[in-house]
Amino acid sequence: MFPQDTGSPFDDIRQLVATLPGPNEGAREAALARQEQLVKPPGALGRLEAIAAHLSAWQGNSMPTVNRPMVAVFAATHGVAELGVSPYPGAVTKQMMATFTAGKAAVNQICATFDAGLRVFDLALDYPTPDITTNAALDEKACAATMAFGMEAIAGGSDLLCLGEMGIGNTTVAAALCHGLYGGTAEEWVGAGTGAAGEVLDRKIAAVRAAVAFHKDHLSDPLEVLRRLGGREIAAIAGAIIAARHEKVPVVLDGYVVTAAAAVLHAMNPSALDHCLAGHVSAEKAHRQLLDRLGLVPLLDLGMRLGEGSGAALSIGVVKAAVACHRGMATFAEAGVSEG
C-alpha cells in the first residue's frame, strides 16, 4: 500500500513564509555608522540614508550595490475582464507583451535610462483564469505552481528586484483581493485602473462586490484569498517576493496590483515585506491606503498609473543615487572638512 499524501500544495509555501530570514543588523548598523561619518550634516540626505541602510541590511553588506537591477514583469489574462470592467479589451495584454519585446513600451525606456535589466514572463496568456465572480481563479495546485514559477523566474544574480505586471482587468482582481483581505466596501477598493468611468466603473464595483460575496466563506486564509480572487501574475509576484527574501535581494514594489500581491504575504506574516520598498504610490485610488496598511512609504508620488513595473523601475534612479552617495562620498576626515 502506498502512503496517502495528505499534504496540501500550499504546505511548502506556508513553510517558506513562516521561516523568512531576517535582516543583517550588523550590516545595517555599520551602514548607519558610515552615514554619520560622510561629508554632510547628519541626516541631510533624508530618506536616501535609510534606503542605503535598507539595502545594507537586506543584502547583508555594509557597502550595498545596485549593479544589476532587474525589472520582472509578469503578465496574465483574467476571465473577469469579459464582464466589461476595463475600457480596454483583454487582447491588449498580448499586444503589450509584443511591445515590451520590441523595446517600445514605457518600462523599456525607463529601464534603459537606469541600465536596468527587463524580463517579461507570459503566464499562459491564451488561457484566462475563470471569472472570479462565479469561480476560483486557480485551484490550489495551479496557484502553488504559479508561485513557484515566480520564485524560479527571478533567480540569477540581480542585486535589486523591481516587480511589475501586465493584465487587462487586473485592477479589478487587485481590488477584490484587498476587499477579501481587509473587508470594507467594494467602492473603497475600486479605482479607475486604465480609465474606468461611468458604467464601466459601476460594473467593476459590482464585480468586486460579487466576487467577494461568492467566496465569502473562504477568506480567512490569505492563500485561499489569493487563489480564489487573484490571478497568475499576482501569484507569481507573491512567489518572487518570497524567493528574493531567501536570496538576500531587496525588492521594489510597483503599483496597486503588485502591492495587492504583496498584501497576501503580509497577511500571512507581518514581517514578510520588510525587505521591500514601495517604488511609488500610483494614482489608482486605493493604492495609498493599501500602502498605509502595509506600513510602506512610497519613494515617488508622480501621479503615474501605468503598471508594467514603470513606477518601480523609475525609483531605481533614487535607489542608485542613494547607494552611490553611500559608497562614494568621502568621510569628513578623508575630505579634510571640519565637523560641526
Ligand X SMILES: Cc1cc2nc[nH]c2cc1C
Please answer whether residues 337 and 39 qualify as being in contact, where contact means their C-beta atoms are separated by less than 8 angstroms: yes
CB atoms within 10 A of CB 142: 17
Q: Which residue among 138, 306, 318, 322 contacts ligand X (CB under 6 A)?
A: 306
172 binds, among ligand X, ligand NCN, none (CB under 5 to 8 A by kind): ligand NCN
> Judged by CB under 6 A, does residue 307 bind ligand X?
yes
Q: Give the sheet arrangement for strand 69-75, strand by strand.
A: 117-122, 69-75, 160-166, 251-253, 276-278
Please answer whether residues 233 and 76 qualify as being in contact, where contact means their C-beta atoms are separated by less than 8 angstroms: yes
Part of the chain binding ligand X (CB under 6 A), chosen from 42-50, 54-62, 223-231, 303-311:
303-311
Q: Rounded to 10 degrees, what is the CA torsion of 162, 273, 275, 295?
A: 100
> Judged by CB under 6 A, does residue 125 bind ligand X?
no
Please answer whether residues 147 and 140 qualify as being in contact, where contact means their C-beta atoms are separated by less than 8 angstroms: no
Catalytic residue among 165, 224, 233, 308: 308
Is 29 catalytic? The answer is: no
**Burial state string for 33-67 with b = 16 or more CB within 10 A and e = fewer than 16:** ebbeebebeeeebeebbbbbbbbbbbbebbebebe
146 binds, among ligand X, ligand NCN, none (CB under 5 to 8 A by kind): none
Cell numbers for 243? 524567493
Give the whole-angstrom CA distance, residue 212 versus residue 133. 8
Min. distance of Cβ 148 from ligand NCN in angstroms?
23
Beta carbon nearer to ligand X, 75 or 268: 75
Query: Nearest residue by C-beta to ligand NCN?
Result: 307
> Judged by CB under 6 A, does residue 118 bind ligand X?
no
Part of the chain binding ligand X (CB under 6 A), chosen from 27-35, 232-240, 293-301, 305-313:
305-313
Min. distance of Cβ 212 from ligand NCN in angstroms?
17
Please answer whether residues 81 and 207 qualify as being in contact, where contact means their C-beta atoms are separated by less than 8 angstroms: no
Could you tell me which of 295, 300, 298, 247 has the C-alpha nearest to residue 274?
295
Could you tell me which of 111, 30, 51, 54 has the C-alpha nearest to residue 325?
51
Beta carbon nearer to ligand NCN, 51 or 168: 168
Q: Which residue among 37, 61, 135, 194 contacts ligand X (CB under 6 A)?
A: 194
- Site residues, ligand NCN (CB under 6 A): 86, 88, 165-172, 193-194, 196, 254-257, 282, 284, 287, 305, 307-308
Part of the chain binding ligand X (CB under 6 A), chosen from 120-128, 142-150, 275-283, 304-312:
304-312
Q: Within positions 80 to 99, which residues make up the interface with ligand X, using CB under 6 A?
A: 88, 92, 96
> Which residue type occupies 284?
E
Min. distance of Cβ 194 from ligand X in angstroms?
5
Binding site for ligand X (CB under 6 A): 88, 92, 96, 166, 194, 306-308
- Which residues are tagged catalytic? 308
